[in-house]
Structure 1
Amino acid sequence: MKKAKDIVKAFYESDIANDASIIEEFFHPQVKATWNGVEGLNTLDFNDVSDFFADIRKNYKDLRIEISHLFQNKDSVSIRYKYYVRAIENPDEEIGIAHFICIWEVKDEKLYRGYQISQPFKDKDEEDTSYDEVKL
């Protein structure tokens, strides 16, 4: 049986921007993800998660996730990370788009319940050193 931490890490290190099969591989059919972001509180089910990443694949050539922290407590995993993208129109420039902290509950070796907070990336964020020391 895989550790919950390894499942979460494998998802965030996958090529979600180019491989639609990753959704079924990593997300439980009854997934429920609660997301606090700039637009308020959203709750996503399996189809919503699939649609979200389909939009990523349509709009970006590449998505890179930089993990700074990853901790496990029983079947719950906390992760802190940043999203970087390369737009289709400008594939030579990578830009940061958001910071995230998420707690995932894993069930049947899949992401089952997610509680996520995000905020937009700011230019001055590149000066921050809190991502320098990775805690995995």
Structure 2
Amino acid sequence: MDGKTLVKDFFESEFYANSEEIKNYLHPEVKIFWNSSTGFYKLDFESFKKMSSEMGKSFESLNCDITHLLQEDNNVTIRFSYNVNTIESPDEEIPVAHFIAIWEMKDEKLYKGYIISQPEDDSLENIFSFIPKK
């Protein structure tokens, strides 16, 4: 599997609902450096798995809208937004956050991830910047 496919499949997977699925994508020695609106996180395999599992308890589904997916050598960059259907409102899709991530691959798995995220906002300029190009 090429790097772009691996990254795309990971963020579109149900890793948040099935923590065993993470093994299909993340290298056992993964290192994730995440700058979020709530602060900086440095995560390894187990801490990411635990965070994802906790997150998954609140969502019926997590939908990934990808706008950019680029690969150069052993690095893949992705820009996307997550929308969720919560347990409380399973019929309503709610925009949650925007992300940019750069992944280094190793042994055909995601090995080092550099992630930046911010909460969703509903400005028209931002909304239209996330409409996928055809």
User: Common fold, TM-score beyond 0.5?
Assistant: yes
Aligned: 1:37 with 2:32: no
Q: How far did residue 18 of structure 1 move?
A: 3.0
Aligned: 1:59 with 2:48: no
What is the distance in 2 between the residues matched to 1:134 and 1:103? 21
**CA RMSD of the aligned region, Å?**
1.7
Q: How far did residue 126 of structure 1 move?
A: 8.1
Q: How far did residue 57 of structure 1 move?
A: 1.6
8 Å contact kept, 1:69–1:134:
no
CA distance change for structure 1 residues 124 and 53 in 2, over 3 Å: closer, same or farther? Answer: same
8 Å contact kept, 2:66–2:132:
no
Aligned counterpart, 1:19: 18
8 Å contact kept, 1:4–1:76:
yes
What is the distance in 2 between the residues matched to 1:10 and 1:16? 10
8 Å contact kept, 1:67–1:134:
no
5+ residue gaps, structure 2, are none
What is the distance in 1 between the residues matched to 2:125 and 2:92? 15
8 Å contact kept, 1:35–1:117:
yes
Report the identity percentage: 43
What is the distance in 2 between the residues matched to 1:17 and 1:39? 20
Letter in 1 for 2:100: I
Q: Kindly tell me the number of residue pairs found equivalent between the two proteins.
A: 134
SS in 2 for 1:134: coil
5+ residue gaps, structure 1, are none
Aligned counterpart, 2:127: 128
Q: How far did residue 95 of structure 1 move?
A: 0.3
What is the distance in 2 between the residues matched to 1:54 and 1:30? 19
Letter in 2 for 1:71: L
TM-score by structure 2 length? 0.92
Aligned counterpart, 1:112: 111
SS in 2 for 1:113: strand
